[in-house]
Structure 1
């Protein structure tokens, strides 16, 4: 406890900087309205400073809709950040619905591409975060290897949960 008080949070592994979920209330997306992944991305870019504060320490914005092409097919990573504390790229894929195994496979391809073609030898492995409206723990369990340290699914809330919802999460 004394060490934590003196030095603050010590970052040793990717999960040390990732939150269990993110609250994106500052985007002003209403739960009852239908919005697209593009609306979500535009909202984040328009309020990038707020989003980066929500992410936490060490994040630097690198770009949006980063394109890479192979064998004539183009792919786009929604948001690319670099975390200077982890010394690695952090890729975000934005999903407005429930997580699927296809989402995880797509992110695995993005992470593999960045690790093999973009990152420098001295940098740590790329991290992929699928920011989704609803996680699917069983899909995560059976799609990702047990020792996974690079791909994460994180829920977001467009509005702060009610007191009742917070009690359910805690309780």
Structure 2
């Protein structure tokens, strides 16, 4: 038996990677074919509903016949056929959303279709599911936690501080409020307790942050002129290709927090950021904030900073509803995301 070549391990890794890539492409093609089938069935039912007045009894008969003919295939229940009709009707006239639905599977599509009512909300969850490979459980949790609502409400100075190419992805990366109910913290807690609880639940924490973040470190040390400075949590955003500095506060937002984080970002860009990476972004997560104070505090800050709050429950406070933008503004904001995806 011949000895194993010295470069065999490298070859094995390359072959494994190639097999996984082929498997992934095959799964994508299967999913696209299934979505096309469900789209076509939904179209046929919708057209006959309109032209011939098809009703519940006809679809139930169709379901029984399909189940008898294709006994080994799931998905032909009458309820699922009605979902296909609803699926087709919801997206047939939407040039932006229609191609996106083919890129995620049917169970994800059903969640978005049944739980989200506006086109802008569906666009958010479709793009985020695709970009972050959310499982059904994660998508369900994100919808329940109203991730879209909190993204729409987010406060930041990204439009002034970031290059236009970075703006759409950065806007989707920040939320107005994060749900930390999974930490099990008491209502009264210290910053150190909050930080340690997040570190102890780092996987859940990164999912809540949006899914495209990687953990770098906590109490990340920086030095300037013999003085030490520490960033509470340092993350890396894979899509934006930049470091993200998080400062945790268990108090209401104060304007000086933005100035301090602006200083930290300058040090990160100078001392830590690699040549191929984009400029660093900062996020301040506080227990509460006055939206007008945040707006003025960020107005003349040069570095990209967002200010969010956290809650130990999963509900959106009713008092935030008046701050929701109009439908026209939602479309304008998310059109930028769609344009970036098409590009």
Q: Bin the TM-score by the shorter chain.
A: 0.7 to 0.9
Aligned residue pairs, count:
166
Could you say if the C-alpha distance between residues 5 and 112 of structure 1 is closer, same or farther in structure 2, counting changes exceeding 3 Å? farther
Alignment equivalent of 2:169, drawn from 13, 16, 20:
13
Matching residue within 281, 288, 312 for 1:158 = 312
Deviations 1:51-106 (A, max 9, x none): 01101121110000001121222110000010111100011000001000111111
Higher strand share: 1
Whole-Å Cα distance in 1 between the matches of residues 301 and 241 of structure 2? 20
For CA contacts below 8 A with separation 6 or more, give which structure has more relative contact order: 1
Is the 1:14–1:149 contact (alpha carbons within 8 Å) kept by the matching residues of 2?
Answer: no
More deviation in 43-52 or 66-75?
66-75
- The CA distance in 2 between the partners of 1:14 and 1:149, in whole Å, is 13
Matched, 1:106 2:260: yes
Q: Which of residues 177, 189, 199 is equivalent to 1:45?
A: 199
- Number of the residue aligned with 1:77: 231
| Equivalent residue number for residue 126 of structure 1 | 280
- Using the TM superposition, give the Cα deviation of residue 21 of structure 1 relative to its aligned residue in structure 2, in angstroms: 1.0
Counterparts in 2 of 1:104 and 1:166: CA distance versus 1, 3 Å: closer
CA 1:136/1:112 → structure 2, altered by over 3 Å: closer, same or farther? farther
Q: Which has the larger radius of gyration?
A: 2
| Pairwise CA distance, 1:30 | 2.3
Identify the residue that residue 22 of structure 2 maps to in structure 1: none
Q: Equivalent residue of 2:215, what SS?
A: strand
> RMSD over aligned Cα, in angstroms?
2.2
What is the distance in 1 between the residues matched to 2:170 and 2:306?
A: 10
Is 1:86 the counterpart of 2:182? The answer is no
Cα distance in 1, alignment partners of residues 102 and 261 from structure 2:
37
Contact 1:91 1:128 in 2 (8 A): yes
- Cα deviation for residue 146 of structure 1 reads 6.2
Following the alignment from structure 2 to structure 1, what is the Cα–Cα distance between the partners of residues 250 and 191?
A: 6
| Structure 1 unmatched ranges of 5 or more | none
CA contact 1:17–1:57 (8 Å) conserved in 2: no
